[in-house]
Structure 1
Amino acid sequence: MSALLVQHPEMALFLALAFGHLIGMIRVGPIQLGGVCGTLIVALILGQTGVRLDPDLKAVAFALFIFALGYTGGPQFFANVGKGWRYGLLSLVEVVAVLAVVMTATVLLSLNAGAAAGLLAGAATESAVIGTASEAVSRLALAPDQIEALQGQIATAYSITYLFGLITIVLFTSQLAPILLRVDLKAAAADLAGRLGETEGGGQAALPELVGRAFAAGEAAGASVADFEARHDHAVTVARLRRGEATIEPGPSEQIQSGDILLLVGRRAAVVEAASTLGPEVVRIGLDMPLVRRSYVLKQAQAAGRTVADLRRLAPLETRRGVFILGIQRLGHAVPVLPDATLQSGDVLELYGAERAVARAGQALGQATPPADKTDFIMLGLGVLAGILIGALGANLGGIHVTLGAGGGCLLSGLVFGWYASRHAGFGVFPAASAQILKDFGLAAFIAAVGFSAGPDAFRLIREYGVWLPLAGVLAALIPASLSLFIGHRLLKLETPFLLGAIAGQQCSTPAISALVSASGNSTPVVGYTVTYAISNVLLPLLGPVVVGLAFHLT
């Protein structure tokens, strides 16, 4: 079997992907390793056989991953750099604190550049650091075998410290931090959701069911459609009228007459409230109409930075009438649809209502989400090429040659291309599903390649540092999180659910936000998470070459 894998390394790659993601699915309480760490563990084991992947494949896989990462995060990154400064400050705390802890451990434990970078990647649970740090190691003035050994130690140190960093941030955000703040997290999250408003239209939950029901006009007779809808804060819409044998799609100025039958569409609680002013409910003969759900990427500059409530209040009546926001997606996470939820450029809004009304509102907000079966490979090719060229640039600072490398260059290129695409409809179509495939496969293939080469040195590193390396991983996760908790609570006065979500985001930890949402009982922590996640997802990978350069000159 070993000889077969060495002869056909592509078999070893897919074996590592399959069994690695199988291991990554195992969950113990809120802790789950995930496919990347699982793939690395399997690759380290298979690496004992001597299997290797072509370095060119490793480079291409990482370039695609890091460009897709930057592209999908670009709109949110630039939207949050200035406006989300309070949350963004926590990402800076993360970068400074984790760098200080890692460099202190480097001196005390005499870590080499590879182990130091692996500690950073694992403790911060940021897999992209492995790629940027590996590139930085390849540029050191060392023999090829020394470079390969250091790159292997990045992967090994990451695999050792990742689990401890992950457990630390999950338990800290969902369990320990609320105790330190003396806060009932579930009660605080419920109170925050209540103060923000439970829905954009006044219903009973963050994402209530929208309904259509027909009633006789009753007391509404004599009022205009606009007046009737205004009485109910536009949480319901008179979608159709049945008058005798005629079916009418009324405008705002249409007068409701005695004997009319009204088809109301809106949030359940609002429709129930409106029913108390109407006649009896009737069978909707000749009134039923199709309602659609459509997703649009928010690009309207006037809407970005506004709350959901602002959007409803400021939008022209003909634009907002009969349209409801069902969901908000930001960086792949659902943001609660609350009146005070702030919208950002690049948010994906799911609109619900009659097709013409949804199309009208969607066109005013941005553009429909791109088709899921088409990728602009011209943009993708030029974007990665531009990133590689940017990464080749460098400068000497204090005797240290500083360069972003292909990884850092592709990350910046992806950020710019993603931001530009969010501002210009039709440019660089890169569906979310396509980007996710590139991120998942690119990173997993890169990690597998690194794990294969690191295999022979894995156990030596474990024997050399013993318990001290995992302990350093715990401290490198705990100290930045604790500092952010103090600064966010005492100085920035952030609401507890938002603050804890931001702490999970500053470490780019999806398991942490999942555990936090479960502990909170609602999705309010996601609001803070998406801001710091977008910023840390850029800053932490760029920190990889910095740690390599500093550790190399210290040891």
Structure 2
Amino acid sequence: MISELLRSQPEIALFASLAIGYFVGSFRVGPIQLGGVCGTLIVALLLGQTGARLAPDLKDIAFALFIFALGFTGGPQFFANIGRGWRYGLLSVVEIVAVLTLVMIAVVAMRLDAGTAAGLLAGAATESAVIGTASEAISKLGFDAAETLRLQANIVTAYSVSYLFGLITIVLFTSQFAPLLLRVDLREEAERVWRKLGGDGALGDGQRAAAPALVGRAFRVGAAAGSTVLSVEQRHGFNLTVEQLERDGATLTVEPETMLESGDLILVGGRREAIVAAAANLGEEVPGEHFGQIVAEKLDVVLTRSDAHGLTVAQLRERAKPEDGRGVYIAAVTRLESTIPALPGTELNRGDVLTLVGAKADVERGARRLGYVLVATQKTDFIYLALGVLVGMAIGRLSGNIGGISLALGTGGGCLLSGLLFGWIRSRYPLIGSLPSAAAQILKDFGLATFIAAVGLSAGPDAIKLVREYGLALPAVGILMVLVPGLLSLWIGRVFLRLDAPMLLGAIAGQQCSTPAISALVGVTGNSTPVIGYTITYALSNILLPLMGPVVVGLAAKFG
């Protein structure tokens, strides 16, 4: 009776797969968590045994929206890191070359078909988007409907088998085994790097500083008497600002050329460590209850200035004119929806979201100099979104034949490239193409989950056959496809690129597109320094790996 109900109303099977799959994926064993997508796939494979099927059009629409949103949100960071982030970007190239080589060795040695080979790539690299680009590539190989469905089912089955083992391997490798191979105490190393970047203490994931990084303190001018406001601020690297001045009971306007006199009361705001270091050169600290609040505004600003790309926070402040940078502080840096340390030594990339704090006039001035304010909006520009998907579909129709190997981008690859382009245009011209981050996340999450549920339901009957045919060979190959590129990147990153261990391991987690791995790393290190390396390789691999789906299908179809 249940089978008949699911066959007659497949939408029940879809939402059952989502609900139960995300519930199953939410369970955590140590640092290992399957996640909602893999959980949905497993449940859909089981429900697929009932014969429930979703319309192919729904699957295609869901994947097109997902892959476009993926490219759209990653576009600014992708283009920003192609050139100047080459040290980390090289690790993504290592990942691509290594996994393609290993897949082709497995294809020849095990006589894998195109679907199984693509599923291995998707699972071992923990990149679900490969399922879509590879499925579409298989549909263009010219096989009959039954053979096409069989190969597409093999993608899903090989993915589900190799994903679990790939996930466990990358989490344990980055957080446990790699530090042993490097012979470092990862927590101590992360604290050292944190201090090198200008931090004054290590903060773990989810922790907050007992004392805030930006503070305000009142002083009675002593040693600073005879100095101008500008010279005092310049002496301490513009990491503090004289915000308010009171002389003989009267409040004076603070100008850069204002001369401080003995006995003046001043309210100084800025980075805590700078104010602590400057205290002896300012005078006696006094209660400042009668002063007003100095941090009155907070703005999220998208960094678009090309000359600021690659500069550290400290360098950006040093190069700014005093009248531009005065009173403006970067409290947080968000990159690809991940928060990285906003420390003096942190490198900034075009497309980063900088959280500026300070007086209202100061942060508005700083926003105009750095980029554009990220306006909180719930409206989506559907004209821009629809045009982007249409352009992606047009690009996806391009195909070619290289060395007898048929290659076609398909709608998935086309929408990914279109999303990159439209996301980059949006970052340069922010008045068009609004796609709020919450809306983009819904498109990515629901689009991918719906697509995965649809292919899982259709693959159900063939899944058991493939597992019986290859047995433990698929998990073994999946583990190798994590370890080999991981070890290569570890060696190249340490010996040739001289990367610090926390950032290097974060980059290895990113080249595998593994969110659980970076979460485990942040927990082990005690601070967010690994995220700096993670965001760059994640942005690159998240785009390059899905484009490898059609390549693997073409190569496996010829040599498998």
TM-score (norm 2): 0.95
Contact 2:154 / 2:462 at 8 angstroms: preserved in 1? yes
2:454 paired residue number: 449
Q: 1:495 aligns with which of 500, 508, 529?
A: 500
1:236 paired residue number: 240
List per-residue Cα deviations over 1:146-201 (Å, max 9, x = no partner). Answer: 11121111111101100000111111111111111222222222222222322xxx
SS of match in other structure, 2:143: coil
Deviation at 1:258, TM superposition (A): 4.0
1:361 paired residue number: 366
2:41 paired residue number: 40
Q: 2:423 aligns with which of 418, 432, 449?
A: 418
Deviation at 1:229, TM superposition (A): 2.0
Distance 1:215 1:489 in 2: 47
Matched, 1:254 2:282: no
Deviation at 1:447, TM superposition (A): 0.4
Deviation at 1:5, TM superposition (A): 2.2
Distance 2:285 2:121 in 1: 66
List per-residue Cα deviations over 1:105-155 (Å, max 9, x = no partner). Answer: 122222211111111100010000000000011111111121112111111
Structure 2: gaps spanning 5 or more residues: 204-208
Matched, 1:59 2:60: yes
Deviation at 1:249, TM superposition (A): 4.2
1:99 paired residue number: 100
2:331 paired residue number: 326
Distance 2:489 2:277 in 1: 44
Deviation at 1:288, TM superposition (A): 3.5
Q: 2:227 aligns with which of 212, 216, 223?
A: 223
SS of match in other structure, 1:522: coil
1:49 paired residue number: 50
- CA gap 1:493/1:286 in 2 versus in 1, 3 angstroms: closer
**Letter of the aligned partner of 1:250 in structure 2?**
V
2:189 paired residue number: 188
Q: 2:523 aligns with which of 518, 525, 541?
A: 518
SS of match in other structure, 1:416: helix
2:110 paired residue number: 109
Distance 2:25 2:355 in 1: 31
Contact 1:370 / 1:431 at 8 angstroms: preserved in 2? no
Contact 1:25 / 1:34 at 8 angstroms: preserved in 2? yes
Aligned length: 551
Distance 2:544 2:363 in 1: 38
Contact 1:370 / 1:429 at 8 angstroms: preserved in 2? no
Deviation at 1:280, TM superposition (A): 4.2
Comparing 217-226 with 125-134, greater Cα deviation is found at: 217-226
1:213 paired residue number: 217
Listed as ranges, the matches of 1:277-316 within 5 Å are: 277-285=282-290, 287-289=292-294, 291-316=296-321
SS of match in other structure, 1:212: strand
Distance 2:318 2:182 in 1: 37
- CA gap 1:286/1:345 in 2 versus in 1, 3 angstroms: closer
TM-score (norm 1): 0.96
Matched, 1:431 2:431: no
SS of match in other structure, 1:373: coil
- CA gap 1:283/1:493 in 2 versus in 1, 3 angstroms: closer
Deviation at 1:266, TM superposition (A): 1.7
Contact 1:505 / 1:530 at 8 angstroms: preserved in 2? yes
1:169 paired residue number: 170
1:470 paired residue number: 475
Q: What's the C-alpha RMSD, in Å, of the aligned pairs?
A: 1.7
Contact 2:397 / 2:409 at 8 angstroms: preserved in 1? yes
Matched, 1:485 2:471: no
List per-residue Cα deviations over 1:43-71 (Å, max 9, x = no partner). Answer: 11111111111111110110011111111
Contact 1:216 / 1:282 at 8 angstroms: preserved in 2? no
Contact 2:228 / 2:259 at 8 angstroms: preserved in 1? yes
List per-residue Cα deviations over 1:16-55 (Å, max 9, x = no partner). Answer: 1111111111111111111110111111111111111111
Contact 1:375 / 1:431 at 8 angstroms: preserved in 2? yes
List per-residue Cα deviations over 1:326-381 (Å, max 9, x = no partner). Answer: 11111111122232221111001011111110111011000011333121111111
Contact 1:188 / 1:496 at 8 angstroms: preserved in 2? yes
1:160 paired residue number: 161
**Letter of the aligned partner of 1:98 in structure 2?**
V
Comparing 70-79 with 366-375, greater Cα deviation is found at: 366-375
Deviation at 1:553, TM superposition (A): 2.0
Contact 1:242 / 1:287 at 8 angstroms: preserved in 2? no
SS of match in other structure, 1:220: coil
**Letter of the aligned partner of 2:236 in structure 1?**
H
**Letter of the aligned partner of 2:214 in structure 1?**
L
Deviation at 1:92, TM superposition (A): 1.2
Comparing 274-283 with 370-379, greater Cα deviation is found at: 274-283
Listed as ranges, the matches of 1:357-396 within 5 Å are: 357-396=362-401
Distance 1:223 1:24 in 2: 62
Q: 2:407 aligns with which of 402, 407, 417?
A: 402
Distance 1:317 1:512 in 2: 42
Contact 1:372 / 1:434 at 8 angstroms: preserved in 2? no
Contact 2:294 / 2:358 at 8 angstroms: preserved in 1? no
1:352 paired residue number: 357
Deviation at 1:492, TM superposition (A): 2.2
Distance 1:161 1:195 in 2: 39
SS of match in other structure, 1:111: coil
Distance 1:522 1:290 in 2: 26
SS of match in other structure, 1:214: strand
List per-residue Cα deviations over 1:502-534 (Å, max 9, x = no partner). Answer: 111111111111111222222222221111111
SS of match in other structure, 2:444: helix
Distance 2:505 2:293 in 1: 45
- CA gap 1:283/1:485 in 2 versus in 1, 3 angstroms: closer
- CA gap 1:145/1:261 in 2 versus in 1, 3 angstroms: same
Comparing 208-217 with 400-409, greater Cα deviation is found at: 208-217
SS of match in other structure, 1:443: helix
- CA gap 1:205/1:481 in 2 versus in 1, 3 angstroms: closer
Deviation at 1:8, TM superposition (A): 1.9
Structure 1: gaps spanning 5 or more residues: none
Determine what percentage of the aligned residue pairs are the same residue.
59
SS of match in other structure, 1:51: coil
